[in-house]
Amino acid sequence: MGEGSQKEKMLKKNVLTVFLIAFIVMAPTVQAAPGKLRIFVVSSYHRDYLWSQQTQQGFCAALKDFKFLETDQQIEDFTKNDVLETDTVVLKKAWMDTKRKSGKGDIAAATENVMNQIKAFAPSLVVLGSDNATNFVGSSLIDTGTPVVFWGVTATPRKYGYIDSVDHPGHNITGVYKAGYYKESLLNLKKLVPAVKTFAILSDDSETARAKIKVLEKNAEDGNLPLRLVDTVVADSFADWKARALAIQGKVDAFYLTNFASLKNDDGSTVDVMKAGAWYLTHIKKPEAVGEKQLVQVGMLVAADESGYKQGYEAGRMVDLILHGKKNPAEIAVVAPSRGAIMVNKLRAQALGIDLTGKDFIEETVEGSKALEKYPQQ
């Protein structure tokens, strides 16, 4: 963990050195540019990733509510094409694809590509979606003349050093972070299966997952969780992840799955998240809690949803405050939205023999499994 942290710091430093001078030169031009508002959105991930779809929906809903966009057709066009120009605004979106391309070189190349696009676009404001965009692109935008709003930062909004405090960010960057409803997810797992007492964390070795694991382990250490944490499994290799999951399932009553979208095949290629999910659902016979709607849609049992929709919507509200309300990002408090629904996957409950009758705490159910629909034989 320490070595990885040092490598990440060096990567950020290199990216910052390459691009900071360009942005200092560009900044006055951006601020002085007349005419239409120009908003550049960066996603850490890729178009098919369910979290990205949910944040996009929330962000676009806010753009319409706050009068950047006028029609659902404009939302559809922007979502489909990643570009949109209206009478008042120009929107452009770029994808870093760091779930599937998570190596140091991949992230550096994606950051360079995005920064070149931003410089050419000359934005009025940049929106950074989730951790890798906020971390690596944000390092080249801090203390420039370009306002920045982030969403989806895991655990603590101060982790990348871009804000002075939650209430008073103090720089040109503000945004929305994920509070992490880990305890709530595990509490609702125990409501579904009262006999469970122990659990293990099962995760890929991604930046987002590591942040979640840190919070979970600290909560376990402090005695703040309803189940006892027995072990933490973190793997980059899909084969290792599978083997360790099978080995540990006989030692615990349940699992908490953080992320598994960055697992690698033996040849270094990234495993389709649906394939990894389908394998887990087929071979692991213990109940699991997760933290997001997207994983319940994949097929996992229960979540207190860290709503991607709310993350995107709150970011859109901040864009309105800055561009329409002329507020300074330095003075806009960073926020974590309230949780989404308590969600249960009915197919997974049935497979595990869990009776949902009378479980009135459930606020939303998912009928099927996107993973098993795509990969029925694992």
Domains of the chain from N-terminus onward: 2-179+308-331 (3.40.50.2300), 182-305+341-374 (3.40.50.2300)
pLDDT of 276 strictly over 50: yes
Rounded to 10 deg, the angle between the 308-323 and 50-65 helix axes is 40
pLDDT of residue 6 exceeding 80, the answer is no
Split at pLDDT 50, 70, 90, the class of 22 is very low
Structural tokens at position 308: 């991607």
User: What does the pLDDT read at residue 23?
Assistant: 40
| Whether the Cβ atoms of residue 197 and residue 253 lie closer than 8 Å to each other | yes
Mean pLDDT of 193-207: 96
Using CA atoms in the order 374, 302, 273, 209, what is the torsion angle rounded to 10 degrees? 180
- pLDDT, mean of residues 61-82: 98
What is the tens place of the pLDDT at every residue in 83-110? 999 999 999 999 999 999 989 999 999 9
Q: What DSSP character marks residue 269?
A: P
For 289-301, give the DSSP string. Answer: EESSHHHHHHT-S
Higher pLDDT, 372 or 12: 372
CA pair distance 59, 40, nearest whole angstrom:
13
For the chain, state the CA radius of gyration. Answer: 21
81/51 Cα distance (integer angstroms): 18
Give the pLDDT band (50/70/90) at residue 30. very low
Q: Is 217 helix (H, G, I), strand (E, B) or coil?
A: helix
Predicted confidence at residue 326, as pLDDT, reads: 97
pLDDT tens digits, 285-308 = 999 999 999 999 999 999 999 999
- Is residue 20 predicted with pLDDT exceeding 80? no
pLDDT at 214: 95
Record the pTM: 0.86
Q: What pLDDT is attached to residue 34? A: 59
Give the CA distances from residue 285 to residues 161, 324, 377, in Å, rounded to whole numbers and listed in that order: 41, 52, 16
Q: For 307-353, write each residue's pLDDT tens digit.
A: 999 999 999 999 999 999 999 999 999 999 999 999 999 999 999 99
CA dihedral sign, ordered 86, 88, 92, 93: negative
The whole-chain average pLDDT of the chain stands at 92
The token duo for 238 is 């899909």
pLDDT at res. 5: 47
Give the tens place of pLDDT for each residue, 115-143: 999 999 999 999 999 999 999 999 999 99
